[in-house]
Chain A
């Protein structure tokens, strides 16, 4: 356990020093995976599948807000579908618009969830999302999550619909269209999945809100358990057209992944090095503000040595952590200054301050 915590500190240090390069790199990898899966699943148009196009798009989404990545992903899926069947692509656009206008626009920051669910579905671990959102988000996240599930099932239907499209008379088009709608509205598995995902999120969220030791770990475990139970029950009700073994394995793997993410979450929550610029009447300032890490490292480690396994609660209050920090600053700024505890100080200035003050 100890070496793991040390490792986490190291990761945190590394992240804080280099987050200006790391963040785009991570986004680039995410985008690459996302576009890659889309191309593998419904890659009908060879031009969009070519490596330079994919890399350029991934680079673009690495340096822009996450909404751009979602838009790009939506764009290439529509283009792929358009390549085989313009009518179906119209349908996809209509459904995406409906999902956006009626639901997804109320949670703009969680747009990436809509994209992540279908992608992770292909990778067989979509259950990461409800558990993770239960840990880090609010129940409103059910909305984009459900949209993601719907999108995944739409593309499953469309994949089969594309194979049955023979020629392009009006009747055929109508036939394909009614087939897709029939499959969608009559899809009990989709509705079941949405309900179970929502349940997982709610269970994880409300357990996480309680206050006792190991609450994050417990809530993740309970979320996973809810998912297992839910999918077992749905499997019993709907009968076996889904591979229950894969679901169980995926569920457990998802729980483990969220567990790991949660372990490093304090790292990810931390603001890294800030670069800001501002001006006053006399100067332009280009400030690089480096958060102090050396203060927190010994504190947390000491706790773990003493308490051995008992007191890990100190690691599970990341959100309060930053708040307390700020409040302390707000209340008595002057003592804060004198403590050499502020985030910009460097020793030379500090010594000078003391000289002047005294």
Chain B
């Protein structure tokens, strides 16, 4: 047995295992929390989900901005309610909306794929430690 053993009242504590488990636990509790929750998704699923979320939030934000603008122009709008060229206004509003959605969609596509890859890289070390822990377990088993 290569791992260190301390005999305490007939029970066995595997120091090496404790060490590995402590490292894993520290990582899981602190820096790795987000990375581990990310690793439950496939990349495409994760990115798609995030893009969808940011498109929805951008839509809500745009609607809010639109409401503020309408309120701001309210007097003008009411005065010229009959003579307004609704077609052009509608086209404008829709055009800007499509522009914003495209920018946010593409932007979050790039950002969240980058984020996913970065978190994968951070997890490599974690998986390495896990593998080592597995080895320790399999070494331990025959003895007990």
A interface residues (Cβ-Cβ under 8 A, vs B): 91, 94-95, 97-98, 101-102, 105-106, 174, 177-178, 181, 271, 274, 276-278, 280, 282-283, 285, 287, 289, 326, 330, 333-334, 337, 342, 344, 349, 352-353, 356-357
Partner of A94, one of B15, B25, B68: B68
- Specify which chain B residues have a CB less than 8 angstroms from the CB of A282 in the assembled complex: 11
CB proximity of A339 to chain B, nearest CB, Å: 13
> Is there contact, CB below 8 Å, between A289 and B16?
no
B16 to chain A, nearest CB (A): 7
Are A280 and B17 within 8 A (Cβ)? Answer: yes
Interface pair A330/B21, CB less than 8 Å apart = no
**Contact present for B61 and A101 (CB under 8 Å):** yes
Specify which of B4, B24, B75 is in contact with A356 (CB 8 Å cutoff).
B4
Q: A276 contacts which of B5, B6, B17, B29 (Cβ < 8 Å)?
A: B29
Partner of B6, one of A271, A330, A334, A349: A349
Chain B residues in 8 Å Cβ range of A271 = 26, 30
Contact, CB under 8 Å: A278 / B25 = yes
Q: Do the beta carbons of B64 and A352 come within 8 Å of each other?
A: no
A106 and B108 contact, CB distance less than 8 A: yes
Query: CB within 8 A of B128: which of A94, A97, A106, A330?
Result: A330
Are the CB atoms of A356 and B58 closer together than 8 Å? no
Q: Are A287 and B61 in contact (CB under 8 A)?
A: no
> Could you tell me the distance between the alpha carbons of A344 and B2 in the complex, rounded to whole angstroms?
18
Tell me what chain A mostly uses at the interface: helix, strand, loop, or mixed. Answer: helix
Which residues of chain B from 1 to 27 have a CB within 8 Å of any chain A CB? 2, 4-6, 11, 13, 15-19, 21-22, 24-26
User: Given that A98-B65, A356-B5 are contacting pairs, would A326 and B75 also be in contact in the complex, using a CB cutoff of 8 Å?
Assistant: no
Q: Is the CB of B132 within 8 A of A177?
A: no
Which residues from chain B contact A280 at a C-beta distance below 8 Å? 17, 21
B19:A353 contact, CB within 8 angstroms: no
Set B13, B22, B68, B75: member contacting A289, Cβ < 8 A: B22
Q: Are A326 and B125 touching (Cβ within 8 A)?
A: yes
User: What are 15 contact pairs spanning A and B, CB under 8 A?
Assistant: A94-B68, A97-B61, A101-B57, A102-B58, A271-B26, A276-B22, A276-B25, A280-B17, A285-B21, A334-B2, A337-B4, A337-B16, A352-B6, A353-B4, A356-B4
In the bound assembly, the distance between CA atoms of A95 and B74 in angstroms comes to 18
**Contact pick for B18, options A330, A334, A344, CB 8 Å:** A344
Once the chains are docked, how many angstroms separate the CA of A109 from the CA of B71? 34
Determine the distance from Cα of A337 to Cα of B15 in the docked complex, in whole angstroms: 10
Residues of A near B19 (CB, < 8 A) are: 342, 344
Q: For the complex, count residues of B whose C-beta is within 8 A of A.
A: 37
Closest to B5 in A: A356
A177's partner among B18, B64, B65, B72 (CB-CB below 8 A) is: B72
Q: Give chain A nearest CB distance to B98 CB in angstroms.
A: 16
A352 cross-chain contacts in B, Cβ below 8 A = 4, 6
List the B side residues contacting A274 at CB < 8 Å. 22, 26, 29-30
Residues A94 and B64 in contact, CB atoms below 8 Å apart: yes
Q: Give the nearest-CB partner of B25 in chain A.
A: A276
**Which B residues, 52 to 109, have Cβ-Cβ distances below 8 Å to chain A?**
54, 57-58, 60-62, 64-65, 67-68, 71-72, 74-75, 108
Known: A101-B60, A285-B18, A344-B18. A106 touches B68 (CB 8 A): no
Within the assembled complex, what's the spacing in Å between the Cα atoms of A105 and B67?
21
Contacts A178-B72, A330-B128, A349-B6 given; does A97 touch B18 at CB 8 Å: no
B4, A102: Cβ atoms closer than 8 Å: no
Is A102 in contact with B22, judged by CB distance below 8 angstroms? no
Please give, as numbers and ranges, the residues of chain A lying within 8 Å of B4 by CB-CB distance: 337, 349, 352-353, 356-357
Of all chain A residues, the one with the shortest Cβ separation from B73 is A178
B133: min CB distance to chain A, Å: 10
State whether B57 touches A105 (Cβ < 8 A): yes
A333 and B22 contact, CB distance less than 8 A: no
B61:A98 contact, CB within 8 angstroms: yes
Chain A residues within an 8 Å CB radius of B30: 271, 274
CB <8 Å contact, B72 and A181? yes
Question: CA of A352 to CA of B3 in the docked complex: distance in angstroms?
Answer: 12
Q: Tell me the bound Cα distance from A352 to B15 in angstroms.
A: 11
Contact B13–A106 (Cβ < 8 Å): no
A101 touching B26, Cβ below 8 Å: no
Closest approach, in angstroms, between the C-beta of A185 and any C-beta of chain B?
9
**Assembly CA distance A353 to B111 (angstroms):** 48
Shortest distance in angstroms between A323's beta carbon and chain B's nearest beta carbon?
Answer: 10
- Bound form: Cα–Cα A27–B74 in Å: 45
Inter-chain contact B125/A353, CB cutoff 8 Å: no
A105 to B50 Cα, complex, angstroms:
11
